[in-house]
């Protein structure tokens, strides 16, 4: 099968969405499909892919890797729609696969008559996330915009898939009659750097967060919990915030809170180094509370056998105390208590790491992810045939 994937963003980067796009394309390519990916011109990091990459013209020159809307991205999305039309005419793909809402709209504008089967891959619900990019005064109207998008936009495609059961259920409730499939996230085994540049200090227990500093990641809630750690725990502990986001305001917040002595921000650098830093961790931190999306950092940590501290509601498929340490991240006392347990109990960390790895093998396997995608494609092809008749 010839498949054209479309993603409205810079590529590749070390961010979770781009990692999922890359893993999906790699998976299908290695399964024998002819895979093409259309993205923005900007490529923040280099990588070798087994599939073909196409890019929109590099005008305007948007170099930010930050998530969220902007005027420059709006113009690029219009260019993306034009490029989808041209590329579809040249490649004649069997399936067009849109990753998230911007790409879905670009694909629909390129082919409003739905002449080619279109699949929508919902990486996250829009309504909980959209408001995080704007001032609080706009929260309610933006939440309404997001809910309208979640309700109506998936119907532009022939088939829709989402990465969590929560998102599947929400999309079905928002749009009765919409058939939404669960698409298992899959992250391929990464290339690991030879050595981690951040050496461990005085045998400290190391916790690592790898990702951007955008508001929807809920790092402020994590910091609230870190503030509650007593001095005897702080001296046993170091936290690495591994990111390429602009971190000056975040560092100021660490100073203001009085936790900069054991919480450090470092650049993740190349992909291999970021993965090496994650694998060097005794604890992986996934504070995000927003449901409707699957944090790829969670998938990576579980697959690496690193014990995870995460929000309870957004990780309901895991067993607390067995496969991960799950708490209400909004409770700073619960976060501090759970961190204290993990810092003081190496046997618990080892047990969680082993069980978390088994959970990753169960929930995020290559075979399961490949089956989910191919089932979704078959459904799209059947629906497209029915539309043509």
pLDDT of 329-380, one tens digit each?
999 999 999 999 999 999 999 999 999 999 999 889 899 999 999 999 999 9
Q: How far is CA 78 from CA 10, 108, 112, 142, 302, in A?
A: 15, 11, 14, 22, 38
**Band (193; pLDDT cuts 50, 70, 90):** very low
Per-residue model confidence as pLDDT tens digits over 55-112: 999 888 877 777 777 888 889 999 999 999 999 999 999 999 999 999 999 999 999 9
Burial of 71 (0-12, 13-18, 19+ CB in 10 A): exposed
Residue 149 has pLDDT above 70, yes or no: yes
Token pair 């619900």 is at which residue? 125
- Mean predicted lDDT score pLDDT of the chain: 90
Q: What is the pLDDT of residue 132?
A: 83
Q: What is the pLDDT of residue 329?
A: 96
Give one word for 105, left, alpha or beta, with left for phi > 0 and alpha for psi -120 to 50.
Answer: alpha
Q: What is the pLDDT of residue 16?
A: 80
* Arithmetic mean of pLDDT, 11-26: 88
Per-residue model confidence as pLDDT tens digits over 282-297: 999 999 998 777 888 8
Q: What is the pLDDT of residue 194?
A: 47
| Listed ranges 26-35, 238-247, 361-370; the one with the highest mean pLDDT | 26-35
What is the spatial distance between Cα 376 and Cα 96, in angstroms, rounded to a whole number? 12
Domains of the chain with bracketed CATH: 2-186+365-388 (3.40.50.2000), 205-363 (3.40.50.2000)
pTM of the model: 0.86
The pair of structure tokens assigned to 314 is: 């957004």
């Amino acid at each position: 099968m010839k498949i054209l994937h479309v993603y409205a963003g810079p590529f590749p980067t070390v961010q979770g969405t781009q990692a999922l796009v890359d893993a999906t394309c790699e998976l299908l390519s290695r399964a024998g499909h002819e895979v093409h990916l259309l993205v923005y011109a900007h490529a923040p990091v280099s990588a070798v892919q087994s599939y073909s990459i196409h890019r929109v013209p590099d005008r305007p020159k948007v170099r930010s890797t930050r998530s969220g809307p902007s005027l420059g991205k709006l113009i690029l999305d219009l260019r993306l729609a034009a490029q989808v039309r041209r590329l579809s005419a040249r490649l004649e793909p069997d399936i067009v696969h849109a990753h998230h809402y911007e790409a879905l709209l670009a694909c629909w504008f390129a082919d409003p008559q739905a002449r080619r089967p279109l699949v929508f891959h919902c990486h996250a619900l829009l309504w909980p996330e959209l408001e995080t990019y704007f001032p609080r005064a706009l929260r309610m109207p933006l939440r309404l915009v997001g809910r309208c998008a979640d309700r109506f936009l998936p119907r532009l495609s022939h088939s829709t898939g989402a990465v969590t059961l929560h998102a599947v259920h929400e999309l079905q409730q928002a749009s009765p009659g919409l058939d939404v499939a669960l698409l298992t996230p899959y992250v391929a085994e990464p290339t690991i750097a030879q050595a981690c540049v951040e050496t461990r200090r005085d045998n400290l227990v190391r916790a690592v967060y790898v990702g951007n500093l955008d508001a929807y990641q809920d790092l402020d809630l994590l910091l609230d919990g870190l503030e509650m750690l007593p001095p005897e725990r702080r001296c046993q502990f170091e936290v690495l915030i591994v990111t390429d986001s602009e971190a000056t305001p975040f560092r100021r917040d660490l100073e203001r809170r009085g936790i900069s002595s054991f919480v450090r921000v470092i650049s993740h650098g190349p992909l291999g180094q970021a993965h090496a830093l994650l694998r060097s961790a005794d604890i992986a931190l996934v504070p995000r509370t927003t449901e409707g999306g699957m944090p790829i950092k969670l998938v990576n940590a579980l697959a690496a056998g690193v014990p995870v501290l995460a929000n309870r509601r957004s990780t309901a498929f895991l067993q607390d105390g067995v496969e991960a340490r799950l708490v209400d991240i909004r409770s700073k006392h619960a976060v501090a208590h759970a961190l204290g347990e993990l810092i003081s109990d190496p046997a618990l960390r080892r047990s969680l790491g082993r069980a978390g790895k088994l959970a990753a093998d169960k929930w995020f396997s290559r075979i399961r992810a490949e089956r989910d995608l191919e089932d979704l494609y078959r459904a799209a092809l059947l629906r497209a045939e029915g539309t043509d008749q």
